[in-house]
Structure 1
Amino acid sequence: MYAEQPKWLSPTHLKRRQFVVASVSAGFALAVQPISAQTITTDSEGLEAGPITMPTSDGEIPGYSAKPMGSGPFPLVLVVQEIFGVHEHIQDICRRLAKLGYVAVAPELFYRQGDVSQLQSFEEIRAIVSRVPDAQVMADLDAAVDWAMGNASADPERLGITGFCWGGRITWLYAAHQPNLKAGVAWYGRLVGDATELTPTHPVDVAASLNAPVLGLYGGEDTGIPLETVEQMKAALEAAGDPSQFVIYPDAPHAFFADYRPSYRPEAARDAWERLQAWFREHGVV
């Protein structure tokens, strides 16, 4: 089902493990400073939460995990980062999910291509992100499921995924990749695009082959994701008879859930978070 889980915490791996854990950004991306006064901070009371490393087919990568105290098994949600990496906002989302009873795991999916946490501009960050192959991302997400099964009392039969911006696109693709997925929630992820060697397909191309329903949460004022592309995706899903759905927040811009950025829209964010929880409950990620 998933990749074989190696023994990754032996003494010979400790030095490497300390290095990769340190690469997970504890703060916010420098490119989006200053931090908003509305930034949400979720504590770790009642949780096991912190940086992790996880084995993949070609070495270890860092990440962040949060889970409830106890032996489980717990439903599992993969959390897919924005272009800014696994910084504090993504870690906080993991803790919010853990407070709801989930194991939440966010692998650092740009790790091989570079560390985006210290970069000063969108141009520098995009230069790294553009080198990340979709195939690598799919494999690393599968490895995150393996890690959670072996180390965080996760139940792979109750598997969900949610992703933001860059991670929203990945959420759709993973729904077509992973046959054991129960549901996905994609936040303002790109839906169409040109095929390249590293990104050969986009969500509209895989609409007919999703293994699980996806809830798309998008902003009507998102200048980077025109509503006509949402309509294209809706048409492709309808043609395939797929039960995935969209919710459009008419006055919301891109990144309306990112409470550390000026784009944050509290009312839309709260409604969308409730819809995420309902979607996971409806489709068996509980």
Structure 2
Amino acid sequence: MTAVQGNAVDIPTEDGTADAYLVHPVDGRPRPAVLVYQDAFGPRPHLWSMADRIAEAGYTVLVPHVFYRHGRAPLVELPDFIDPSVRPDLFEKLGPLIQSLTSEPAMRDAGAYLNWLADSPFAADGPVAVTGYCMGARLSLLTAGTYPDRVAAAAGFHGGWLATDAPDSPHLLAERITAELYFAHADGDSGMPEEQMRRLEDALTAAGVRHRCEVYPQAPHGFTQADTAAYQKEGDERHWTALLDLLDRTF
């Protein structure tokens, strides 16, 4: 296992400054870069530990705070163990933040994150990989379609609203995507019903995108997040195998 070093960094964007977490192997050599998009709960120790694990596999990893327009993280005080049934007020606070991050500003930000990585001495030249969780899965798919020449692989786990009827639905960018994709859906996820699963699969297949979309049986929405009540060990372990295999094939 490679020793890693993580630090807080600031990323200039067209709309301000995004606080972020950067982690990379301690030897400082340029490594393939991985952009990690947060879930709704945002940057916190568990998400940073996930980034550390990717870095330990030999990558330079950037985790931006996508809600930076509302202030630096944390915007909401989170318990060590997140159980929305105990804290229903969390989504009352987080909901407006999620709704405010529409596709256009999110993809302006994605360009800033990619540019920052391209200038980083810790990131190897060439395209990057992207992965995301919950709302971050949507951002991952959008980034692959918006910046096809800069994204070599993209993954998403327990994402929602990936193939809706909206004019900015991520699946509509399928014909632009050149990356290999892996998306794992939570079984019975209300944000990603079977209709959307089929629509996404059909769009990627029709566009000739290299991809694999899988449904994790009996896995709840949020199954990768060990600091939440939605965590499922089996689904999380399967997620790590799929993600690291994708990165290994890409780089």
User: Under a length normalisation based on structure 2, what TM-score does the superposition of the two structures give?
Assistant: 0.87
Greater radius of gyration (CA) = 1
Report the equivalent of 2:86: none
The residue identity in structure 2 corresponding to 1:189 is: G
What is the aligned counterpart of 1:113 among 56, 67, 70?
Answer: 70
Q: Is the 8 A contact 2:37 2:137 kept in 1?
A: yes
Structure 1 residues 69-108: aligned runs within 5 Å: 69-108=26-65
Higher mean Cα deviation, 70-79 or 109-118?
Answer: 109-118
Structure 1 residues 131-280: aligned runs within 5 Å: 131-178=100-147, 179-190=149-160, 191-195=162-166, 200-280=167-247
Which runs of 5 or more residues in structure 1 are unaligned? 1-42
Report how far residue 221 of structure 1 moved.
Answer: 2.8
Q: Name the CA shift for 1:194/1:88 in 2 (closer, same or farther; >3 Å).
A: farther
2:92 is aligned with 1:123? yes
Q: Is the 8 A contact 1:168 1:186 kept in 2?
A: yes
Report how far residue 152 of structure 1 moved.
Answer: 4.5
Q: Which whole-Å deviations, capped at 9, do the CAs of 1:115-163 have from their partners, x for residues lacking one?
A: 6333742022111221123222222222223323334410241410000
Q: Is the 8 A contact 1:258 1:264 kept in 2?
A: yes
Q: Is the 8 A contact 1:80 1:168 kept in 2?
A: yes
Q: Tell me how far apart the structure 2 counterparts of residues 181 and 133 of structure 1 sit (CA, whole Å).
A: 20
Q: Which whole-Å deviations, capped at 9, do the CAs of 1:240-286 have from their partners, x for residues lacking one?
A: 2222111211111111111111211111211121111111222x2x3
Q: Is the 8 A contact 1:145 1:156 kept in 2?
A: no
Identity in percent: 28
User: Under a length normalisation based on structure 1, what TM-score does the superposition of the two structures give?
Assistant: 0.77
Which runs of 5 or more residues in structure 2 are unaligned? 79-88
Q: Tell me how far apart the structure 2 counterparts of residues 174 and 253 of structure 1 sit (CA, whole Å).
A: 25
CA RMSD of aligned residues (A): 2.0
Q: Tell me how far apart the structure 2 counterparts of residues 87 and 137 of structure 1 sit (CA, whole Å).
A: 20
The residue identity in structure 2 corresponding to 1:237 is: L
Q: Is the 8 A contact 2:76 2:93 kept in 1?
A: no
Aligned to 1:118, the other structure's residue is in SS state coil
